[in-house]
Amino acid sequence: MHTPRRYRYYDLLLAAFVVALLCSNLIGAGKAAVLTLPVLGEVTFGAGILFFPISYLFGDILTEVYGYAHDRRAVWAGFTALLFAAVMSLVVIQLPPASGDYMDGYQKGLETVFGNTWRIVLASIIAFWAGSLVNAYVMAKMKIMTEGRHLWMRTIGSTAAGELIDSSIFYMTAFYGIWSTEQVIAVAIAQYFLKTGWEVVMTPVTYRVVAWLKKKEDEDYYDVGTNFSPFKVGV
């Protein structure tokens, strides 16, 4: 029977990954911000996407150091956390508030911040799950193909693939039929380039963290013979 190796920092990274994922989905996700970018011009985006790509950064690090299976477990942990947060938000909002001006205002604030429609919530959770697993799969396969060389190529390439799936699923599921098709496509493309560009900017940080972890954990995992089923939780 295979006994998975225990690592010093994996649990800490998993916890940090889930925290970053929850915060990026709950704080600022509903705020539309405007930024003027070269070539793209003025772009409107959800403020939460400035931090959501951190989850892909964690995914790249986990796959590169510990392997696909350990990242897959983290993705399932994040999926469960998002689902719990969605159910908790629904329950808390639906509970009748106590009487009083303060509670009336508080209830309206809760509905504004956490009262996303179930279509958007469902789209977000499914898009994250699918995109993150594609990211991990591409990262693991590229590591074998490149024999561990060109980390920058693997991190950017895997993120580009994962974010493509993520953005396509989310915007088509959440807004198709509500927005015009042209608007859905335009916003999805803008978000895709913003998220992928974030990975490019953070590449030097990824290099440092990966090198440090490989040294501390004495691990540089190659996914030869790995079961890549997305529905398997164990390592």
75-87 pLDDT per residue, tens? 999 999 999 988 9
Whether residue 225 is contained in a domain is answered as no
Whether residue 129 is contained in a domain is answered as yes
Helix (H, G, I), strand (E, B) or coil at 220: coil
User: What's the total number of domains in the chain?
Assistant: 1
Per DSSP, 135 falls in state: H
Supply the CATH number for residue 46's domain.
1.10.1760
* Domain span including residue 161: 10-217
Residue pLDDT, tens place only, 199-230: 899 999 999 999 999 999 999 999 999 999 99
Q: Is 118 exposed, middle or buried (0-12, 13-18, 19+ CB in 10 A)?
A: exposed
pTM to 2 decimals? 0.88
Helix or strand (DSSP H, E) at 44: strand 41-46
